[in-house]
Structure 1
């Protein structure tokens, strides 16, 4: 009598204990975690100029990882972490957008800085010209012959001596488009250092290029045209040696350009100038 109830109790409880066993938990998707980390790093780097190029690449990689993580963490998928995957996608897209915005802002800042420097140089040229005109006017009251001589020596066509240096304006030719798609002109100079110490073209001269009476901005290329060396004006030249220098400028249209070169600092002698027709 006592054995039968015991057997019945055991047969009833065995299925219940088996039915309450918990299902195995899914592991978090490694792709989701990797995408989230890349997204965070990308957002941080996207605010830093130059480095934000890497942020854009990290954003692309993180976006791919995040999409893979979303697919793997579906309800019937082998992994969990769908929320992490979605956050990774959002952060990576945000990193790429911020990078593009920051690069555009940096490009605009460079354009404004270049325009400001050109305007400053043009203003200094105007002040120097006005000062020279005033001095010439004063000297004309004492000697007409001296005024005529000064006027004839104030401008040298194509080449001449500017203080301790000899300069020749060789050519001004079209040189393709700059980084912003605008046409450019490349001006070539040849000069000789007749001083007693080594110096560079940028230290010895003040070159200006005008079109329609307005000074042109220095061109910036993504890929330099043939024959253009942006570092040539900074190269040091020993006494008695000569060098060729190329400087590029952004054009406003296809009208002729006038090249003028003066000496730096306290130099008040003649200037070398020439007008070129663009080919």
Structure 2
């Protein structure tokens, strides 16, 4: 007896097999979803034909089952992916990280205003208010520099970190410029150099620098964190 071939059943089975494998891949399983729909339609046609001809009924049922599973799995996986993406997108830590990344790639250039003695950088804005010569805890000459600083970031940061990432204090003797070390006063004063400054907030404080001599000026160099280039300079006379 000649066995009749049911083309619809074969096509439904093949599409069902391909579809069920592809349905496990998020996003791309949209194509598997389409294969599952086509396979389901072909499977239904195949089983109708099988009922008339009495051939390939098992293959038709297998095609319908696989195609149906393809549609179901593809929908479930995409729903899970959407839910997961929404949860990540609404997470505060993710939002904070995204804002930081946006700030890092910002096209807004850093700048220095000589007249206002103000440097505006990506992570902080620093304004030099005044400077005066003092004696440190050991009686050595030092320069007390008063400044106002704004944390331009979306995260909290220590004032000292913001300052060190935007400014360098050097003394110029005409031949070389040497970076000055931080020192402390003999008499304790309230200062906020090591306080944590909240995001977008501003504070005024001071830093005490140990001088190499009492005649050469102190140069404040401004730049962004990696110091690819010095964006501005300010000369502070030692008086």
- What TM-score, normalized by structure 2, do the two folds share? 0.44
Return the structure number with greater helix share: 1
